Amino acid sequence: MKTIALIAHDRKKEEMLSLVLENRDVLSQYDLIATATTGKIIKENAELVITTYLSGPLGGDQQIGSRVACQKVDMVIFLRDPLAAQPHEPDITALLRLCDVHNIPVATNASTAKLLLQSLRAKA
Ligand SMILES: O=C(CO)COP(=O)(O)O
């Protein structure tokens, strides 16, 4: 089963939840992984099975990055907050860099995420 990583900064969590609810049917066909808080919100509100890692600021982005480096992640949806400084910015940059190194589709905003999810729907 292919794996999709879901990550959202605090001011993007509502947007992530809407995206997940709108695409619940597609997402339920994948192994889902997430950083801690994003995953908790999705589990509680969308009732999807999701493996959670540490919270982003505590190393969760790096944990997911290591999964990307091991070719264990097939898509990353990372709704970043471009208007707020993050204490763990280097970890965020590293995760996105690894997606590029390994040519993994990565969406950093909801519009791109919708296009990627549409492409999965078309394949199914
Ligand atoms: O900070 C994050 C990504 O950089 C997300 O972490 P949480 O899902 O735990 O809020």
Q: Range of 46's domain?
A: 3-123
Q: What is the pLDDT of residues 37-48, one digit of tens each?
A: 999 999 999 999
Count the domains in the chain: 1
**pLDDT score, position 123:** 78
Q: What is the pLDDT of residues 46-102, one digit of tens each?
A: 999 999 999 999 999 999 999 999 999 999 999 999 999 999 999 999 999 999 999
CA-closest residue to ligand 1 atom 6: 56
Instruction: CATH number of the domain at 23, please.
Output: 3.40.50.1380
The residues annotated as belonging to the active site are 61
CA–CA distances in Å: residue 87 to residues 58, 90, 116, 122: 10, 8, 28, 38
**pLDDT score, position 20:** 98
pTM above 0.90, yes or no: yes
Reported in sequence order, the residue ranges of the chain that DSSP labels E, i.e. its strands, are: 3-8, 31-34, 51-52, 75-79, 106-107
Q: How far is the CA of 39 from the centre of ligand 1 (A)?
A: 9
Q: For residue 56, what are the contacts with CB-CB under 8 A and spacing of at least 6?
A: 7, 9, 35, 37, 86, 88, 91, 92
Q: How far is the CA of 24 from the centre of ligand 1 (A)?
A: 21
Looking at the predicted complex, does its ipTM rise above 0.95? yes
Inform me whether the pLDDT recorded for 17 exceeds 90.
yes
Does 12 show up as a binding residue in the annotation?
A: no
